[in-house]
Amino acid sequence: MGCGAFFACKGGVNVLTEVDLRHLRRCVELAEEALEAGDEPFGSVLVGADGTVLAEDRNRIAATGDPTQHPEFALARWAATNMSADERAAATVYTSGEHCPMCAAAHGWVGIGRIVYASSSEQLTAWRRELGAPAPPVQPLPVQEIVPGVVVEGPAPELAEQVRDLHRRLHHK
């Protein structure tokens, strides 16, 4: 973990609720589905202000040959096409791994509200290093460095082992 106590990460208060965890578990399921389909294990869910799941997606890089096919990017585009600006601002994107800079920027441009992630980029970077995986071509940065105004919550310590295990399976096929 990047922080000593899970309720005091980054100087803020971790306010993940049971509802948040339920959506994050679905993201992890989608991540596993991606892995089983030969893709990198990332999954995301877009939830409206009233708690309705509006859209979900998973990594589709191997499936399409397009390295920008990240689920958070797909959900930002879905939101831009299907939601009003007010609806987007009140929505939440849940994701198994913190947005990369490309997806964080898309989230910011589209004006979606909160981001809740199961694992941080810092955790993913540490796990990749442990697993001997090559560094990604794009620098992993905290979402707040790309989109300073966005509310970001996570990580979820409850899901860390599970997400780490998906990445272990990816890098040790």
Contact residues for Zn ion (CB under 5 A)? 70, 100, 102-103
Determine the angle formed by the axes of helices 71-82 and 101-110, rounding to 10 degrees.
10
Chain mean position to CA 59: 11
Q: Which is nearer to Zn ion, 103 or 152 (CB)?
A: 103
Q: Which is nearer to Zn ion, 6 or 105 (CB)?
A: 105
Q: Which is nearer to Zn ion, 9 or 100 (CB)?
A: 100
Burial state string for 33-60 with b = 16 or more CB within 10 A and e = fewer than 16: ebbeeebbbbbbbbbbeeeeebbbbbbb
Please state the closest distance from residue 30 (CB atom) to Zn ion, in A: 14
Please state the closest distance from residue 100 (CB atom) to Zn ion, in A: 3
Residue 71 contacts residue 59 (beta carbons within 8 Å): yes
CA distance 139 to 88: 27
Please state the closest distance from residue 111 (CB atom) to Zn ion, in A: 17
40 HSE (CA, 13 A, CB side): 18
Q: Which is nearer to Zn ion, 8 or 124 (CB)?
A: 124
Please state the closest distance from residue 173 (CB atom) to Zn ion, in A: 22
Per DSSP, the three-state class of 140 is coil
Please state the closest distance from residue 170 (CB atom) to Zn ion, in A: 15
Q: Which is nearer to Zn ion, 23 or 70 (CB)?
A: 70
